[in-house]
Structure 1
Amino acid sequence: MKIHFSFMRKQAGIFPEERKKTTENKPIEKAKVPEILIFPLAMHIGKPAEPIVEIGDKVKIGTLLAKAQDGISAHVISSVSGEVVAISTRETMRGPGECIIIKNDYQDAREEAINVSQDELTTEDKLSIIQKAGIVGMGGATFPTHFKAKPNKTKPIDTIIINGAECEIYSTSDHRLMIEHAEGIVEGAKIVQDIMSAKNVFIALEADTPDCETALIEKMKKYPHMTLIVLPTMYPQGAEKVLIENITGREVPSGGLPADVRTFVTNVATTNAIYEAVHLGKPLTERITTVTGHSLQIPKNLRVRIGTPINALIEECGGFISQPGKMLHGGPMMGIALKSAEVPITKGSSVITFLEPEEAIRENQTDCIRCSECLNVCPVSLQPILINNAFERGDIEEAERLGAMDCIECGNCSFICPSKIPLLDNIRSAKIAIKARNTG
């Protein structure tokens, strides 16, 4: 095991005031399981899963509720035992979507563990287990892991980066996971390395988490080939393309993927889930979620069953001491505003943030003053104001030509803009319009 303190090759970024102190030293607590759980069929990137249960069916923890379609898709697995009471459209993190609704019987009956042979597992065995477990990227991207990790002979991976750079300003779920489950992260990294036959393994975190550094170093001692990278604290240090360039010096090309520069990046939570699936036979039925904000009585890091509605977590945190101004899936930099606390926690829910009214106020927009600050802070070297302008005048082709699809949606441009132009909102809308145009 080696430790390396890295300088930043990619300097573009910002230094927002962090709000982690309310939860960073709070151990993970197990959240109570509610009576009703909601399982969206599209809690991952790609095709929605197809239901294989019907209303009235009895299920257990680990029961397959909906099967992945061919291609990019992922299984949806029950996190509770009980009865399927509805299959209907509900509000989700991604807007209205079809969901399977289960009434908890509070028995916690479980399916048998995913078949884990005592013999040495092949690459195909490990990928099959990861697929059966329903694992997707848990840092927020939610790309199906069995598909992403499949070895590609034409683009062999030589470098793996395990991403523990938790830069969203309120989130501490990965922080606590690295302290309390360091072994699972390190062993999961070894599994990924074996699958991809990669030479280099880096576990990356930021300099403001020395307690995570200590925990990981202890568990990495048995793997001298792994390197712990400590990066300067900057937003968005944890963005995939930024990590790759700062650690390896490689730059992902426009329109490209990390595989184009022989690199594979995955979140620490995903890596721990891989360990639990392959070594312990556990499907992905729960995750660590930070529930935070000054309006909450007791912000917490919670081990939450997937499918739990947010209102149950509000109760878990003692309710509100003041009326929040906005509820976000994510944090204030990249988060999506939610309209309902009945929305369920999904595989990519690392943090739920409640902003106070003064934090949620959107200041009045004024004309662009041509300061170019949005260009200076863009970590992928885009021109956010030009993409924004193209979208506003309806020129979707020009927005695409300017590289809108390369935007990592970090929110730096909106944060820094003195004119308070909603740059990120408009670029997100441009990306949606580009996808619709190219598929329609």
Structure 2
Amino acid sequence: MKKLFHLMRKRQGAYTEDRKERTEHRPVEEAPVPEYLIFPLSMHIGAPTKPIVSIGDHVKVGTLLAEKDGMISANIYSSVSGEVVDITNHPTLNGDSPCIIVKNDYKDESAEPLFDPSIELDPTKKLQLIEQAGIVGMGGATFPTSVKLSPPPNKTIDTLIINGAECESYSTADHRLMVEYAEELVEGVRILMEVLSVNKAYIALETNVHESVAIMQAAIQDHDTIEIKELETIYPQGSEKNLIQKLTGREVPPGGLPADVHTVVTNVATTYAVYEAVKLGRPLTKRITTVSGEPIKEPKNFWVRIGTPINTLIEACDGFRSSPGKMIHGGPMMGKPLTSGRVPITKGSSVITFLAKEEASRSERTPCIKCAECLHVCPVSLQPILISNAYEDGDLDQAEQLGALDCIDCGNCSYICPAKIPLLDNIRAAKQAIKAQKED
């Protein structure tokens, strides 16, 4: 692939060209609500949900469609009122997968709140409510939030980090959330601190988002236990392990989790969803999504009902000014290519990116020149070329020993590689093969 960004050498990161200018000052607007909404049974890490509705059932905004199946899973709620018309396979981010299809009646009838918001809840009840609301990591990881907030008894948490370091080049969803909903976000932070019983929280932002930094600073002025931390604008500044090391000096061990170093990290969108669940009794049914890229005529930030097909958002942006070469769920660095606009927005859809044909075209692969650039830019200090070689040689044991499972899928290695070796593709494939081997 042609190099989309100008990448300068930097240990554990790379400087990327900022493409946020077309949406960073665009207020969030309500996306059109389509006639049919698609709810994949798996829009989170972990086990797919189990449908609890049947074809022909009437649902409301906030009706539970599918319930979690096991600890690592998350409830799914309807984002419109209408009728369940099918439960079938449909194009999703992960290929054709089982989905619940709801036909919108455009009445927007709402189900009862998850609880009476006038009742004060204790921390245990608040945690249960976060689980009930179906909240997951909304920065893209989609790990169930209630599980993250429930570490084992031997792993005491003393620090909360709110991740506002939105490092993908086109994404401004988190930035606009902080600009327009700062007070609600701070309340979400306070709720998370109470659930975790911690006395210190950091809100991490990159230095290139001046407007949101100033607004968040003003929002926390009466909260001395919450601190804004401005970090260098470098990719991938927003990775969990990177943030923890920068803000606390602690290093998550290989194969470890943030809880191993007494820390929990949540995305700002996740934090807002926590606020809505605990203060308003609302389950997770919508999110802010950026739609951007050079081919898009009018890039925008949208409040999107979960289940909305991407085609609906393309139309709301007045279509394309030039034919796109690639559509990506996420950003150019970590995102996954999509082949259909019928794929729905899900809980982890922070940005949909469109690349021009010249940006998306692939360059011919050549032999490795042993420049070590992929080592310089790896944020978790791996040796991407060696993992890639091991995978291509069919040596999964060697790939695992080299730390393939610790890769955070940032994509720095592939974009910096002058030989155009598909390092990230190979490492992702190695991770999948290793996990499949362990399951067998």
Q: TM-score, normalised by structure 2?
A: 0.97
Unaligned runs of 5+ in 1: 1-9
1:4 corresponds in structure 2 to none
Superposed, 1:176-215 pairs within 5 Å as 176-215=176-215
In the alignment, residue 307 of structure 1 is paired with which amino acid? G
Structure 1 residue matching 2:324: 3-state secondary structure? coil
Deviation string 1:8-65 (CA, Å, 9 cap, x unpaired) is xx95210111111110110001001000000000000000000000000000000000
Q: Partner of 2:18: helix, strand, or coil? A: coil
Deviation of the 1:153 alpha carbon = 2.1
Question: Percent identity among equivalent residues?
Answer: 60
- Which residue pairs with 2:259 in the alignment? 259
1:286-435 equivalences under 5 Å are 286-435=286-435
Give the stretch that moved more between structures: 42-51 or 91-100. 91-100
Between Structure 1 and Structure 2, how many residues are aligned?
431
Distance (whole Å) between structure 1 residues aligned to residue 136 and residue 222 of structure 2: 27
Cα distance in structure 1, aligned partners of 2:353 and 2:288 = 14
Q: In the alignment, which residue of structure 1 is the partner of 2:5?
A: none
- Measured in 2, the distance between the counterparts of 1:103 and 1:422 equals 41
Residues 252-272 of structure 1 show CA distances to partners (whole Å, capped at 9, x for unaligned) of 000000000000000000001
**How far apart in 1 are the matches of 2:412 and 2:151?**
34
**Structure 1 residue 148: Cα displacement:** 1.2
Tell me the TM-score normalized by structure 1: 0.97
Contact 2:185 2:271 survives alignment (8 Å): yes
**Deviations 1:221-276, CA, capped at 9 Å, x for gaps:** 22111111000110000011111101111000000000000000000000011001
For residues 116 and 110 of structure 1, the distance between their equivalents in structure 2, rounded to whole angstroms, comes to 14
In structure 2, C-alpha distance between the alignment counterparts of 1:183 and 1:132, rounded to whole Å: 24
Aligned-partner Cα distance in 2 for 1:227–1:17:
28
State the distance in 1 between where 2:19 and 2:337 align. Answer: 18
Q: CA RMSD in A?
A: 1.0
Q: Does the 8 Å contact 2:179/2:211 carry over to 1?
A: yes
After TM superposition, list the pairs within 5 Å mapping 1:82-121 onto structure 2: 82-116=82-116, 118-121=118-121
1:169 alignment partner in structure 2: 169
2:23 is matched with 23
Question: What does residue 36 of structure 2 align with?
Answer: 36
Name 2:145's counterpart in structure 1.
145
CA distance, structure 1, for counterparts of residue 187 and residue 210 of structure 2: 20
Q: Shift of residue 321 of structure 1? A: 1.4
1:151–1:195 CA contact under 8 A, matched in 2: no
Please tell me the residue identity of whatever aligns with 1:80. V
- Name segments (4+ residues, structure 1) moved above 4 Å: none
Contact 1:116/1:278, CA 8 A, preserved across alignment: no
Separation (CA, whole Å) in 2 of partners of 1:329 and 1:150:
29
Secondary structure, aligned partner of 1:325 = strand
Confirm whether residue 275 of structure 1 aligns to residue 272 of structure 2: no
Work out the CA distance in 1 between the residues paired with 2:116 and 2:18: 42
Q: Distance in 2 between matches of 1:129 and 1:257?
A: 24
The residue that corresponds to 2:7 in the other structure is none
Once the two structures are overlaid, the 10-residue window that deviates more, 200-209 or 124-133, is 124-133
Task: Measure, in 1, the Cα distance between the counterparts of 2:357 and 2:331.
Answer: 15
Match of 2:6 in 1: none
